[in-house]
Amino acid sequence: MVYEDIAANKRNTFFLILLIIAIISGLGYLIGEFYGEPYTFTIFAFIISLFMSFFSYYFSDSVVIAITGAKPADRKIHTQYFLSAEGLSIAAGIPMPKLYVLEDDNINAFATGRDPKHSAIAVTYGALKKLNKFELEGVIAHEISHIKNYDVLIGTVAAVLVGMIIIITDAMKRNIFRSRRRVGGGRGNIVFFIIFLIAAIIAPIAGILLQYAISRQREYLADAQAVLLTRYPKGLIGALTKIKNEYMPPEEVNRGISHLYFAFPLSIENSNLFSTHPKIDSRIARLQTMEYK
């Protein structure tokens, strides 16, 4: 079953890249229509999208680390973090990921990378301070499960490529009204109106792609596999319970990489901005059933 999940994630990543290449090429064509050179702009957009796809596959983990500002963990300072990651990596049968720390007082973590040999885990200072040994192990085991299943591949690639589409469409929308001043009536206005509609449609589609890059079911599976690694459901339950009771303003969360995180407090869940993660109460309820097996 695990190997089937891994193969499915690799296929989904490939199809996601093809879809985004098609979208970016289409945007290039529409922009080219306005300037009278649709094919030149289409070819240019296609080449750029290929380059970004290559870049996102091989370097997206570095981009995510840079965006979040995570710093390499120190074995002397974060000893338990290293010990837990080493033991759980051995149990999962994968190389130990690079370990990072996020300067955030909230409890959270994320994993990134393209495969188990090129992966990283980042844990917040809040998690290191507020979680006990078993709770921290539960969180790390969850992230290691995402790495082993290649969930991080599609999630990290989606973060970079969809982010590129959002940047393009935002730039297009900002320039629409400026361009109307330079172009009178007729074809120019119609083309820009079409571009505006396309941009307005693509932006939410990009958000949907981002949200569902890692489905809710993948989070449930990572929770279950984390329990198999730790043999202690209460650790993960305790971590989720503590996160649930925290508070974080929705505007503090980077939507572009929100799907990579372990979980969000109720203040984020109730904002209805994020649907990548199941409700914390639902995750806890499932984990509680595993305590008695």
Q: What is the pLDDT along the chain (293 residues), one digit of tens a residue?
A: 555 666 666 677 777 778 778 878 877 777 777 667 778 888 988 888 888 878 877 887 888 899 899 999 999 999 999 999 999 999 999 999 999 999 999 999 999 988 899 999 999 999 999 999 999 999 999 999 999 988 887 777 777 777 777 777 766 666 655 555 444 444 555 666 666 667 667 765 766 665 565 566 788 889 999 999 999 999 999 999 999 999 888 777 777 677 788 988 887 776 655 566 788 999 999 999 886 55
pTM of the model: 0.80
Domain range enclosing 253: 84-152+214-290
Pair 224, 142 in one domain? yes
Query: Are 236 and 287 within 8 A, CB to CB?
Result: yes
**Residue 71 is assigned to a structural domain of this protein:** no
Pair 202, 113 in one domain? no
Domain boundary among 162, 181, 211: 211
Pair 42, 172 in one domain? yes
Question: Cα separation of 138 and 86, whole Å?
Answer: 13
Query: Are 111 and 154 within 8 A, CB to CB?
Result: no
Pair 194, 223 in one domain? no
**Residue 78 is assigned to a structural domain of this protein:** no
Question: Cα separation of 138 and 226, whole Å?
Answer: 6
At 270, which CATH number? Answer: 3.30.2010.10
Pair 199, 131 in one domain? no
Quote the pLDDT of residue 279.
Answer: 87
**Residue 39 is assigned to a structural domain of this protein:** yes
**165 burial class (0-12, 13-18, 19+ CB within 10 angstroms)?**
buried
Pair 222, 286 in one domain? yes
**Residue 143 is assigned to a structural domain of this protein:** yes
Domain boundary among 190, 211, 232: 211
**Residue 76 is assigned to a structural domain of this protein:** no
Query: Are 214 and 276 within 8 A, CB to CB?
Result: yes
Pair 266, 145 in one domain? yes
Pair 269, 218 in one domain? yes
Quote the pLDDT of residue 200.
Answer: 60
Handedness of CA 243, 248, 252, 256 (dihedral sign): positive
Closest CA to 146 of 70, 230, 218, 239: 218
Pair 223, 282 in one domain? yes
Pair 91, 164 in one domain? no
Known active-site residue 269: no
Pair 204, 218 in one domain? no
Domain boundary among 211, 226, 247: 211
**Residue 177 is assigned to a structural domain of this protein:** yes
**Residue 175 is assigned to a structural domain of this protein:** yes
Residue 96 has φ and ψ, to the nearest 5°, of -70, 130
Pair 230, 121 in one domain? yes
Quote the pLDDT of residue 54.
Answer: 82
Query: Are 288 and 237 within 8 A, CB to CB?
Result: yes
Question: Cα separation of 115 and 37, whole Å?
Answer: 40
Q: Single out the catalytic residue among 135, 137, 143, 269.
A: 143
- The total number of structural domains in the chain stands at 2
**Residue 74 is assigned to a structural domain of this protein:** no
